[in-house]
Structure 1
């Protein structure tokens, strides 16, 4: 895939993550090769860091820091020698932004997880946002904002092989153990789970096996994966995040919700995009049908992660979680 095709393929993902579409085009139009992706996105991120330093108000500085976090994260989507540093800088920029904008936000870390807890201390419920194959907590800031706007507390996390932990850990098949440790750290009796892309599988699996899950939603999440059907770029990412091709194949064999779906007792919303082209992540209807309280939402024009159709699913998802947790 040449760089123009790669940039086009990432367009709705990047704009869905909240970057300005015009800036995205300015950055990607000048790329000669996919190897230019990472350095160019890091330069865009540093531009926002400079704007944050020059800002006339904490509000403006915080907004630029959040934007820098997005650009640093997106720099890691293409093969890049400095991906580890970019992920660290994304993590740092998000932390600096929340220090400025939300002094009450708390960093929580434990075995296999790290992230930020945001929202009121007396919130009627707490939601854990779980990223996917090559995503991270910095990618879903708009989703977090939608949940916060409904009065909920939100813990946006990186787990094993994800975001700030990608360089030092690998994927684990029993992700529910990580989620259970997160719930323990939160001190919560009941939580909501929102999983995106592969995080949808993690969230659904965790909801089946963690009794404190009281509300669940998945977006572009796989019901079952087949290694032979996955496109080579997805296999390559999986191998990097799982610790090698053999480990990736073994991990993919575990991705199957047929036996677990009937054990999801919490209200479940499953969101699919009709234009999603990744094999295995367009079969969410079966998950919703097998779950005792599942609802299926298919957006015909939505692509993977539905960054091109946020109005069609994001408010409904946030309302689903808020209603299940808070009534």
Structure 2
């Protein structure tokens, strides 16, 4: 496993961006509650989440509160590692990575701090895997970075790419990676352009299939996994990226989309989303142009392989047309609808994740785990 990239030394000047909505008194409790299922679905302890967020007086304090929680776990991890308690150290480093990642969920004006938190998350995850899965390997190129993990006892396994979304990164979806590994599939949890550790040095890429193509090339050269059996699971905006890849990249055998956007309407999006996209893209014009590209209408007929669309019935975001439409328009699509699920279905993991992992495993031709 290799070292960790550093934040960009020259982040774009976005002082023009109006983030006054962060000061709205009703937004703090709404943001905390809206992100509670996402945080717990990502593996944060729900009681700790309550303790950390209860102390917030403003959303401006969110990033530092999350980083402080990450540093507490980092201290515990260092202590456990020094005492030879390998599993405890790995679990604490993993918890630190989750908290550092959570610090970046907000379109906060301090983008340098957000870049630092992403690097902290990446480094904490490296240290976690060194203790919990020493065989994990860094696979990276100019437009992607991720951790390749292989299932125990499976020779030359197929591989699934776990693709994050707008404000997400590879440290968020531990449960997804774990479910696939347990079923005999290797996993590359990745950051692409504008995501995770690469957010400070790149903008989101609507032609994400080019990124996925380079990832598959890198995995083929790397060896140890079967790149004739590649699956992709994309979450939130990552669902659009996954469909783009499936429509253009013939090496993808099966695709799953979780809470993906079928289409975005810029003028109807809430300020939280437009501000986040503007920060990630660099200018309002670039963000608007990117949002206009997020449209699966022309892609759906081209996704000729197996496709699973996972949707939550309570997932309603202004300006976002949900991907359940895709299930009617792609040739070989299936819909898994969880009526009580919210965005990313962190409040309903048991209702979709085992079924989705089984579905993807079967399409990749993987025997179930031991």
State the shift of 1:163 in Å: 0.2
5+ residue gaps in structure 1?
none
Query: Could you say which structure has the larger radius of gyration?
Result: 2
Are the structure 2 counterparts of residues 164 and 174 from structure 1 closer, same or farther at C-alpha, using a change threshold of 3 Å?
same
SS at 1:77's partner residue? coil
**TM-score normalised over the length of structure 2:** 0.86
Query: What is the aligned partner in structure 2 of residue 153 from structure 1?
Result: 186
Query: What is the aligned partner in structure 2 of residue 72 from structure 1?
Result: 100
SS at 2:261's partner residue? coil
Query: What is the aligned partner in structure 2 of residue 144 from structure 1?
Result: 177
Give yes or no for contact 2:158–2:228 (8 Å, CA) kept in 1. Answer: no
Residue 295 (1) aligns with residue 323 (2):
no
State the shift of 1:124 in Å: 3.0
Q: Deviations over 1:123-180 (max 9, x none)?
A: 4310000000000000101110011000110000000000000000001111100000
Give yes or no for contact 1:197–1:281 (8 Å, CA) kept in 2. Answer: no
SS at 2:205's partner residue? coil
The one of 106, 117, 122 equivalent to 2:137 is 106
Give yes or no for contact 1:239–1:248 (8 Å, CA) kept in 2. Answer: yes
Query: What is the aligned partner in structure 2 of residue 42 from structure 1?
Result: 67
Q: Deviations over 1:231-277 (max 9, x none)?
A: 11100001111121100110111111111111112211001111112
Residue 59 (1) aligns with residue 87 (2):
yes
Superposition CA RMSD, Å? 1.3
Query: What is the aligned partner in structure 2 of residue 95 from structure 1?
Result: 126
SS at 2:231's partner residue? strand
SS at 2:201's partner residue? coil
SS at 1:326's partner residue? coil
State the shift of 1:5 in Å: 2.0
SS at 1:239's partner residue? helix
Give yes or no for contact 1:123–1:152 (8 Å, CA) kept in 2. Answer: no
SS at 1:214's partner residue? strand
- Separation of aligned partners in 2, 1:4 and 1:80: 20
SS at 2:262's partner residue? coil
Residue 201 (1) aligns with residue 201 (2):
no
State the shift of 1:108 in Å: 0.7
Query: What is the aligned partner in structure 1 of residue 114 from structure 2?
Result: 83
State the shift of 1:114 in Å: 0.4
Query: What is the aligned partner in structure 2 of residue 254 from structure 1?
Result: 293
Give yes or no for contact 1:124–1:326 (8 Å, CA) kept in 2. Answer: no
- Separation of aligned partners in 1, 2:237 and 2:72: 31
- Separation of aligned partners in 2, 1:283 and 1:98: 34
**TM-score normalised over the length of structure 1:** 0.97
The one of 229, 232, 250 equivalent to 2:268 is 229
Identify the structure with the greater helix proportion. Answer: 1
Tell me which stretches of 4 or more aligned residues in structure 1 moved more than 3 Å: 279-282
- Separation of aligned partners in 2, 1:150 and 1:168: 35
Are the structure 2 counterparts of residues 90 and 217 from structure 1 closer, same or farther at C-alpha, using a change threshold of 3 Å?
same
The one of 155, 178, 189 equivalent to 1:122 is 155
Query: What is the aligned partner in structure 2 of residue 4 from structure 1?
Result: 29
5+ residue gaps in structure 2?
1-23, 221-226
The one of 283, 299, 318 equivalent to 2:322 is 283
Query: What is the aligned partner in structure 1 of residue 15 from structure 2?
Result: none
- Separation of aligned partners in 1, 2:157 and 2:238: 24
Give yes or no for contact 2:314–2:343 (8 Å, CA) kept in 1. Answer: yes
